[in-house]
Amino acid sequence: MLSEFVKTADFKSEKHVPVIECADRVAAGQALGITVTVGKEIAHPNTTNHHIAWIALHYVPAGAKTSIEIGRCEFSAHGASVEGADKGPACTDSTLTIRAKLAASGTLYATAYCNIHGLWSSEKAVTVA
């Protein structure tokens, strides 16, 4: 199973963990601002050879059997250029920010992919009142 290869850790000591930041509670129908960052406490490199390729955010309503992907961002600029690795004019930051309206309490799951160290995930419960 793929789940055997998804890593988790405390983001304060591991730079690959996607950190979900949003309110713990939200009113039904109210837009919830959600930010997912890789490298929140310890910066993750964004180089041609070592970078976060994408972040995906899923929501699982309480009692549901499937997840709903509510956001995804692929990071394309890692400093590559015709002049060579890490000499390019642009590098993306490994952060995804979205707003979503949730109809029921549930759990947010963030997954991030490092081109060298693989899949990392975290989760956060959200109460809809």
- The residues that are catalytic are 14-16, 44, 50, 114, 117
Contact 72, 52 (CB under 8 A): no
CA dist., res. 5 & res. 3, Å (int):
5
The two tokens of residue 4 are 């055997």
Classify 4 as helix, strand or coil: helix
C-alpha separations of 128 from 8, 34, 56, 68, 102 in Å? 26, 14, 21, 16, 7
